């Protein structure tokens, strides 16, 4: 975003950070037994998302950075794949430990690996998500939000399943999971979150919740048929939430 950070400055910073040596040090850190669960799953998902973006960006610097980051991406993909079968229950939370959000961040990387002939991670994500979420019905989203959420557990689960289920199957799954979306229900999911203390490190998360809700509403609307009656309420909610949150997505606190 040149208006915020000069491109040359941003590139120079990344050149200094995303080096073979730095990434080897990170990979070594995550191979140590005491560190194997650190940043799991949030940081793992974001690292795999970063690698996917670098690997698919037609840019000389990005190609160099993607090659540097690849060993860490390979390690965390393998760690994620070995962890998923051992995770009996998903974490349905509105903060970093949310399982569905991390898997959605990792999904593009997994798809690209599958296209290259290694489908293990994609199959692992599909199996785990189906086991955890495939039969979910009438999710109690009226209890959201919690006081420090920056994610909606209901919406991030729905967003993940919108990417994993066949297009013909997703609308019915969503109707069972969150009945009432076409009527702006549950009301608390559609109502803007009140952020009573933006400079409080926990309460300030709620600005992020408004923003991530907007993203999820748009994603869900885009993966429903165009004439689905839920599309209009979802897009209207996305606009409300984005309008409230975007001014707080830049600057200090």
Cα-based distances in Å from 78 to 75, 89, 161: 5, 20, 22
253 pLDDT tier (thresholds 50, 70, 90): low
What pLDDT does 252 receive?
61
Residue 18 phi/psi, 5-degree rounding, is -90, 70
| Cis, bond preceding 186 (omega within 30 deg of 0) | yes
Residues 6+ apart with CB under 8 A from 98: 42, 91, 92, 151, 153, 156
Q: Are 178 and 158 in contact (CB under 8 A)?
A: yes
Q: Do residues 230 and 181 make contact, with C-beta atoms less than 8 angstroms apart?
A: yes
Q: What is the pLDDT of residues 133-155, one digit of tens each?
A: 999 999 999 999 999 999 999 99
pTM above 0.85, yes or no: yes
* pLDDT reported for residue 251: 67
27-52: pLDDT as tens digits = 999 999 999 999 999 999 999 999 99
CB 199 within 8 A of CB 253: yes
Query: For 86-135, what is each residue's pLDDT tens digit?
Result: 999 999 999 999 999 999 999 999 999 999 999 999 999 999 999 999 99
pLDDT of residue 87: 97
């Amino acid at each position: 975003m040149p208006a915020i950070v000069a491109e040359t400055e941003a590139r120079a910073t990344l050149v200094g950070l995303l080096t073979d040596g730095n990434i080897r040090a990170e990979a070594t850190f995550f191979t140590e037994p005491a560190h194997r669960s650190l940043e799991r799953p949030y940081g793992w998902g974001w690292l795999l998302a970063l690698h996917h973006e670098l690997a698919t960006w037609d840019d000389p610097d990005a190609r160099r950075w993607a090659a540097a980051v690849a060993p860490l991406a390979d390690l965390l993909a393998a760690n994620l794949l070995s962890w998923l079968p051992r995770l009996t229950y998903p974490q349905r939370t509105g903060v970093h430990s949310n399982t569905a959000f991390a898997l959605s961040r990792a999904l593009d990387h997994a798809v690209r690996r599958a296209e290259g002939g290694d489908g293990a991670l994609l199959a692992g994500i599909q199996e785990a998500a189906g086991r955890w979420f495939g039969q979910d019905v009438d999710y109690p989203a009226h209890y959201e939000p919690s006081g420090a959420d920056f994610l909606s557990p209901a919406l991030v689960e729905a967003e993940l399943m919108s990417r994993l289920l066949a297009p013909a199957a997703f609308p019915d799954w969503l109707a069972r999971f969150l009945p009432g979306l076409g009527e702006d229900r549950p009301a608390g999911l559609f109502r803007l979150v009140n952020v009573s203390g933006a400079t409080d490190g926990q309460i300030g998360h709620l600005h992020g919740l408004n923003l991530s809700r907007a993203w999820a509403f748009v994603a869900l609307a885009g993966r429903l048929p165009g004439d689905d009656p839920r599309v209009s309420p979802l897009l209207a909610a996305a606009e409300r939430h984005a309008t409230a949150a975007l001014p707080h997505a830049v600057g200090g606190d």
